[in-house]
Amino acid sequence: MVETGSELAHEEARLRENALVSQCLQEAAEEVLETMFFMTVEREVEWEEVSGKPHLYAEMDFQGAAEGRLELALSEDLAPVLASGFFGKDESELRPSEIEAVMCELANMLCGSVLSRLESGSLFQLGAPQAMATDLEQESRINAGHRRVFDLGCGDVKICFWMWREPEANPAQ
């Protein structure tokens, strides 16, 4: 099958957007984790490397110039560390609801940061982040998103982000 010029241009645009989203996810994770939690991303790891570890999950939707979703997974060893720093409490003093609240707030901050980088001049409505009881790997839609996993040394952060745009109308020729 021979690709036409417009098909090649579409594929190139898709690859550029994928690279941009990937870069924005990394920059947002590094900035939010460092600024709000005083944590540094040590390295990026493959999704499969941490898939067997227990995680806590949150999700949120957004609408506006595009619509989409961000899903977040925090390893169970990292979630109380982040909540402890956020609330200024010892980990042993944290209630499960406080850990969940911080996880949801992290999803909110990451989503806002990614969207600001991708669409700085656009308006979005962010849905309320919610804790999830399901494993991201069990959701079939996860394959359609941009996935990144960051190791912080004391646990990992898994982010899946995707965005749908309305197809642009072709101008009359």
Contact 98, 90 (CB under 8 A): no
Asked if residue 170 belongs to a domain, the reply is no
Cα 103 to Cα 32: distance, rounded to the nearest angstrom: 12
Residue 92 lies inside a defined structural domain of this protein:
yes
Number of domains in the chain: 1
CATH no. for residue 147?
A: 3.40.1550.10
How much is the average pLDDT of 65-79?
Answer: 93
Q: Determine, yes or no, domain membership for 75.
A: yes
Structural domain of 95: 5-164
In this prediction the pTM is 0.85
Residue-wise pLDDT tens digits, 144-153: 578 899 999 9
Residue 61, in any domain of the structure: yes
> Which H or E run includes 68?
strand 67-75
46, part of any domain: yes
Among the ranges given (91-100, 114-123, 157-166), the one the predictor scored with the smallest mean pLDDT: 157-166
Q: What DSSP character marks residue 7?
A: H
Q: Quick check: helix, strand or coil at residue 46?
A: coil
pLDDT band at 106 (very low <50, low <70, confident <90, very high): very high
Predicted pLDDT of residue 102: 97
**45: which 2 tokens?**
């790891």
Separation CA 7–CA 80 (nearest Å): 48
| Rounded-to-integer distance, Cα 66 and Cα 90, Å | 40
Q: Is residue 51 part of a domain?
A: yes
Separation between Cα atoms, residue 91 and residue 89, nearest integer Å: 6
Residue 173 lies in a domain: no
Look at residue 171 and tell me if it is in a domain: no
CA distance 27 to 140: 26
